[in-house]
Amino acid sequence: MAILITGVAGFIGSYTAKALLEKGKKVIGIDNLNNYYDPALKKARLLQLDKITSGSFQFYKADFSEAQRLNEILKEHDFDQIIHFGAQAGVRYSLINPKAYGESNLMGHLNILELARHRAIAHMVYASSSSVYGNRSLLPFKVESQPDYPVSLYAATKRAGEMMSESYAYLYRMPLTGLRFFTVYGPWGRPDMAMWIFTQSILNHQPIMLFNHGDMQRDFTYIDDIVSGVLGVLAHPPVDDGKEKAGGSINPHSLYNIGNNRPEKLQDMVKLLEQACQRKAIKELRPMQAGDVYATYADITAIKQDIGFEPQTSLKDGIPRFVEWFCHYHDRI
């Protein structure tokens, strides 16, 4: 039976679809191809998926926050798993256009939960975010902690999605798994992320802005490691046995961190980019921005214990791969 993926033209969604298609799975993909960042990149990702399929991939341009449209396009399809990675992304953009986050991350998430409920889905995996932890000083971030003090609307909507999912797991005994992703990077990544912005600026001899005067840390996680975790979790739905799950629920609802389990200093990331680009960065030191956090650091104990997840790619190895892809991609277009 097929697997439904929302946000299939996105960074993580497209990689996940590719991995499933290469395993011989059938994938139904939904994406609204919005202009939060260049839709041409999203379409290019979809072209990559088309190259590896033999009729196993069906794509629909649709907005999952529109329930009627969602149900119309899916009524003729059978699927028993949902990977819900579609969302309005971006911490800083949530300060500018908060309504978009309510529509996509709240109403949209509810629509997918309702779809899963009425279809009696065997397992729904959804994207949360490391941003739910806010500005916690206690590191690393543990899934058992209660991250109820978000510092951005984006983080608040992601935490709300977790709580909505918990209520559905309790009320309808639906197997649900939320994944708190930590600073994902790699080829085909997002243009609004620091890795892309810094690479583009360094190659074009333009200044890069280092917030908090460069004194920040991030748990950078390579895309291949993320997908490995996603597929592992997908194959292990939480059991409705009344026992406590990762994240603390006694309902069939697990929460996992997926990170590299190693925070890296922003300045060290820039040095690796300089080496890969073979150019020096022009740095502009700026104060901390609203909604941003000083550090992220994933405790991955739970996902290690439950599915054997182990990240394989260091920042030193991952950055050259991204820069090489970045240069090829921009030469091509």
The residues annotated with a catalytic role in the active site are 154
* CB-based contact 237:123 (threshold 8 Å): yes
3-state secondary structure of 136: coil
3-state secondary structure of 112: helix
Q: Which distant-in-sequence residues (6+ apart) come within 8 Å of 243 by Cβ?
A: 250
Amino acid at 33: L
Burial class (CB in 10 A: 0-12, 13-18, 19+), 293: buried
Tokens (6 digits) for 239: 């059991």
Cα distances (angstroms) measured from residue 93 to each of 10, 271, 291, 308: 17, 27, 10, 35
DSSP output for 242-307: SPPPTTS-SSSEEEEEES-S--EEHHHHHHHHHHHHTS--EEEE-PPPTT--SB--B--HHHHHHH
Tokens 């739910």 locate to 132
Q: Which residues of 37-61 are buried (b: 16+ CB within 10 A; e: fewer)?
A: beeebbebbbeebeeebeebbebbe
Bridge partner residues of 217 (DSSP)? 265, 295
Query: Shortest CA distance to 303 belongs to which of 234, 250, 217?
Result: 234
